[in-house]
């Protein structure tokens, strides 16, 4: 039985007039009703940042959240868009997924490519940075005897992926200790240079360390590594949306990113960039009928994707662009400086992050003499209502502090006061 379009609309309701729905013509348009001034927003422009927090976020007032490194709180317009996509997917089901989504997904990818200033042919939308990085690490054409360089500030699960390949006899992992407080990006470059050997095939670069927030100079290291015939595999999970970011300039041929951290997208979205000329070298991580050609899509057969999460990507980009990475990075750096400068000189507090803006942005870590990271995390929450997170770092561990775009100066000032008080009891 065939049904006419008129009957079809009668059966399914007008919601199938997809173009008229909120949240469907999203290439450059969003659900945003939050006005963000184009001027102002300097790091000390408290009015701007207060208005942003008030108008664009719905945040629990029960505690101060300084653990935005896990995932970013979605701004209201992004959340509203996401909810509308969830409803649409749920209303229209497989008809939407099969007939509408492929076109929408292509538009999403175009928007993302436009934002990242690379070709859609070089991007794959993944479910997170772990998936993006695994596609590269496990698909890379390793040869017998290859060595990979990692350090203690890299993300543990990327190190573990390399170690897994090592245990299968595929490569050798060489680990070195990155100084916690290097004086300059050049010093970091030199540390990497000192590690390479004739067997080095690749270096894992964590652009912004999830442990201390240390920023490594990806471009300088990648360009130098290339001159030695060495690849960099870059984990930018904490960089995109947090620090000024230019994939082409970074000069790394393999980069994994997250959209649900600093870009504020709903959870379940990451990105993989592979330079076009390198795609054919990667083995497919998921089964594909063309296991080795130059199409990046063959690397992405990861099954049913979270449609609504991916549809929200243009909305997150639009919100992010309205504030702009320069305003964001400057504000994040300012917030970090506010608290670190107040506690840095205290006898019992060790700030583990260099505070210069070339070496860190919003994230920073510290430890308190004689106290475990978990104890400080718990006490900050229970006694001061401030949520941070203990991280593994050597034997002593550390506590990581990560503001969000809605964080106010008084929040980080309260943290500094709490640390002064904790340090005096140590
Ligand atoms: C540096 C770094 N890389 C990768 C990841 C993994 O991100 P996801 O859990 O979203 O895959 C994280 C998560 O915190 C991270 O901090």
Instruction: Give per-residue pLDDT as tens, 308-365.
Output: 999 999 999 999 999 999 999 999 999 999 999 999 999 999 999 999 999 999 999 9
Spatial contact of 318 and 112, defined as CB atoms under 8 Å apart: no
pLDDT in tens, 49-66: 999 999 999 999 999 999
Pick the atom of ligand 1 nearest to 70's CA: 14
pLDDT at 225 over 90: yes
- Assess whether the C-beta atom of 235 lies below 6 angstroms from ligand 1: yes
Compute the distance from residue 20 Cα to the ligand 1 centre, in Å: 37
Domain residue limits at 308: 103-318
Same domain, 298 and 348: no
State the total domains in the chain.
Answer: 2
pLDDT at 10 over 70: no
Share of the chain above pLDDT 90, in %: 89
Share of the chain above pLDDT 70, in %: 92
194: domain CATH number is 3.40.640.10
Residue 271 lies in a domain: yes
- Assess whether the C-beta atom of 265 lies below 6 angstroms from ligand 1: no
- The whole-number pLDDT of residue 86 equals 98
Residue 65 lies in a domain: no
Same domain, 287 and 374: no
Same domain, 312 and 330: no
- Assess whether the C-beta atom of 130 lies below 6 angstroms from ligand 1: yes
Pick the atom of ligand 1 nearest to 209's CA: 1
pLDDT at 227 over 80: yes
Same domain, 162 and 257: yes
- The whole-number pLDDT of residue 31 equals 52
Least confident of 9-13, 149-153, 157-161, 176-180: 9-13
- Give, as one character, the DSSP assignment of residue 367: E
Q: What is the mean pLDDT of the chain?
A: 92
Residue 49 lies in a domain: no
pLDDT at 23 over 80: no
Residue 215 lies in a domain: yes
Compute the distance from residue 155 Cα to the ligand 1 centre, in Å: 7
Domain limit, last residue, from 270, 293, 318:
318
Mean pLDDT within 101-129: 98
Residue 33 lies in a domain: no
Spatial contact of 299 and 139, defined as CB atoms under 8 Å apart: yes
348: domain CATH number is 3.90.1150.10
pLDDT at 4 over 70: no
Same domain, 212 and 334: no
Same domain, 250 and 343: no
pLDDT tier at 2 (50, 70, 90 boundaries)? very low
Same domain, 241 and 362: no
Residue 280 lies in a domain: yes
- The whole-number pLDDT of residue 340 equals 98
Same domain, 136 and 167: yes
Same domain, 129 and 257: yes
Same domain, 239 and 338: no
Compute the distance from residue 101 Cα to the ligand 1 centre, in Å: 27
Least confident of 27-41, 117-131, 232-246, 326-340: 27-41
Spatial contact of 196 and 169, defined as CB atoms under 8 Å apart: no
Pick the atom of ligand 1 nearest to 154's CA: 1
Rama region for 404: left / alpha / beta (φ>0; ψ in -120 to 50; rest): beta
Domain limit, last residue, from 318, 341, 357:
318
Residue 329 lies in a domain: yes
Domain limit, last residue, from 291, 318, 345:
318
Mean pLDDT within 169-183: 98
- The whole-number pLDDT of residue 284 equals 93
pLDDT in tens, 53-106: 999 999 999 999 999 999 999 999 999 999 999 999 999 999 999 999 999 999
Residue 311 lies in a domain: yes
Strand pairing category for 200-206 and 147-151: parallel
3-state secondary structure of 359: coil
- Assess whether the C-beta atom of 206 lies below 6 angstroms from ligand 1: yes
- Assess whether the C-beta atom of 67 lies below 6 angstroms from ligand 1: no
pLDDT tier at 292 (50, 70, 90 boundaries)? confident
Across the beta sheet with 200-206, the strand order is 123-126, 270-274, 254-258, 231-236, 200-206, 147-151, 172-176
- Assess whether the C-beta atom of 237 lies below 6 angstroms from ligand 1: yes
- Assess whether the C-beta atom of 238 lies below 6 angstroms from ligand 1: yes
- The whole-number pLDDT of residue 34 equals 87
- Assess whether the C-beta atom of 135 lies below 6 angstroms from ligand 1: no
Nearest CA, atom 16, ligand 1: 210
pLDDT at 1 over 70: no
Compute the distance from residue 391 Cα to the ligand 1 centre, in Å: 13
Same domain, 358 and 418: yes
Q: What angle do CA 274, 251, 247 make, to 5 degrees?
A: 65
How many whole angstroms from its chain centre is CA 389? 17
Same domain, 255 and 392: no
pTM: 0.92
């Amino acid at each position: 039985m065939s049904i006419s379009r008129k009957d079809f609309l009668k059966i399914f309701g007008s919601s199938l007039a997809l173009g008229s729905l909120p949240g469907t013509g999203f290439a450059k348009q969003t659900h945003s009703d939050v006005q963000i001034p184009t001027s102002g927003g300097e790091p000390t422009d408290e009015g701007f940042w207060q208005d942003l927090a008030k108008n664009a976020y719905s945040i629990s007032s029960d505690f101060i959240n300084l653990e935005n490194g896990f995932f970013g709180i979605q701004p209201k317009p992004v959340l509203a868009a996401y909810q509308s996509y969830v409803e649409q997917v749920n209303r229209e089901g497989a008809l939407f997924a099969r007939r509408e989504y492929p076109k929408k997904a292509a538009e999403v990818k175009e928007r993302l490519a436009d934002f990242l200033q690379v070709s859609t042919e070089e991007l794959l939308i993944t479910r997170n940075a772990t998936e993006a990085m695994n596609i590269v690490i496990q698909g890379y054409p390793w040869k017998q005897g290859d060595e990979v360089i990692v350090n203690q500030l890299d993300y543990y699960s990327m190190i573990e992926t390399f170690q897994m390949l090592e245990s299968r006899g595929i490569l050798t992992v060489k680990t070195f200790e990155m100084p916690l407080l290097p004086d300059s990006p050049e010093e970091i470059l030199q540390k990497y240079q000192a590690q390479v050997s004739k067997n080095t095939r690749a270096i894992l670069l964590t652009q912004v360390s999830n442990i201390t927030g240390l920023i490594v100079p990806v471009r300088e290291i990648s360009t130098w590594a290339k001159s030695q015939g060495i690849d960099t595999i870059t984990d930018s999970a904490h960089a995109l949306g947090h620090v000024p970011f230019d994939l082409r300039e970074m000069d790394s041929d393999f980069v994994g990113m997250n959209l649900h951290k600093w870009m504020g997208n709903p959870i379940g979205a990451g990105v993989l960039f592979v330079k076009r000329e390198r795609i054919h070298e990667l083995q497919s991580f998921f089964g594909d009928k063309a296991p080795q050609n130059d199409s990046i899509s063959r690397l992405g057969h990861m099954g049913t994707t979270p449609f609504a999460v991916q549809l929200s990507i243009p909305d997150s980009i639009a919100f992010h662009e309205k504030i702009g990475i320069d305003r964001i990075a400057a504000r994040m750096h300012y917030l970090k400086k506010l608290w670190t400068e107040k506690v840095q000189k205290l006898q019992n507090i060790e700030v583990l992050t260099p505070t210069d803006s070339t070496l860190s942005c919003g994230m920073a870590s510290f430890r308190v003499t004689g106290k475990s990271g978990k104890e400080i995390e718990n006490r900050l929450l229970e006694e001061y209502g401030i949520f941070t997170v203990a991280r593994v770092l050597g034997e002593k561990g550390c506590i990581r502090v990560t503001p969000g775009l809605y964080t106010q100066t008084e929040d980080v000032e309260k943290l500094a006061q709490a640390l002064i008080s904790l340090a005096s009891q140590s």
